[in-house]
């Protein structure tokens, strides 16, 4: 059985920088820049991984939502999802039979099961949004963050 596991870490310097922000007032672009760090994606049984470095965690949560939405709506050709075209973009494609391919900027290509990927993205999204509320309690009062929470996967 194929399994995909996500995790993240935040940069300590970014946390210090973020402390100075008025979290309640951040717009969507401000939220995308918040919580800069790394996302780790592990693939089993391939025993391989991808690391997305120096990225906004919320930005990538939004992008992963877009990937799932695109594939589920029938867009299976190769497409890239990134608002940051020079750092950490991933290219995705879904082939007949359920083969889901992910390629990073450095040419690493991973084939996994789309449904395992989707399940992992949903769990990562839910868990990470809750963790971000613990790390940044001021986000509870941010209307844009609340909108993101309201539009999580069902």
pLDDT above 90 as % of the chain:
55
Which pLDDT value is given to residue 154? Answer: 64
Which pLDDT value is given to residue 87? Answer: 53
Is residue 32 within 8 Å of residue 58, measured between CB atoms?
yes
Which pLDDT value is given to residue 97? Answer: 67
70-81 pLDDT, tens digit each: 888 888 776 665
136-154 pLDDT, tens digit each: 999 999 999 999 999 987 6
Going from N- to C-terminal start, the domains of the chain cover 3-73+114-150
CA pair distance 60, 46, nearest whole angstrom: 23
Which pLDDT value is given to residue 85? Answer: 47
Least confident of 10-19, 24-33, 47-56, 136-145: 47-56
Is residue 24 within 8 Å of residue 138, measured between CB atoms?
yes
CA pair distance 55, 141, nearest whole angstrom: 23
- DSSP state letters, 25-44: G--HHHHHHSSEEEEEEEEE
């Amino acid at each position: 059985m194929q399994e995909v596991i996500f995790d993240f870490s935040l940069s300590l310097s970014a946390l210090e920088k973020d402390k100075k922000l008025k979290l309640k007032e951040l717009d969507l672009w401000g939220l995308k820049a918040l919580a800069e760090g790394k996302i780790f994606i592990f693939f089993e049984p391939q025993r391989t991984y991808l690391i997305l470095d120096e990225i906004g965690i919320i930005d990538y949560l939004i992008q992963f939502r877009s990937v799932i939405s695109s594939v589920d709506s029938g867009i299976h050709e190769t497409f890239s999802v990134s608002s940051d075209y020079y750092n950490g973009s991933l290219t995705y494609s879904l082939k007949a039979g359920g083969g889901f391919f992910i390629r990073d900027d450095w040419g690493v290509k991973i084939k996994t099961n789309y449904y395992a990927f989707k399940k992992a993205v949903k769990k990562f999204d839910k868990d990470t949004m809750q963790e971000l509320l613990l790390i940044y309690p001021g986000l509870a009062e941010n209307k844009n963050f609340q909108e993101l929470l309201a539009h999580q996967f069902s």
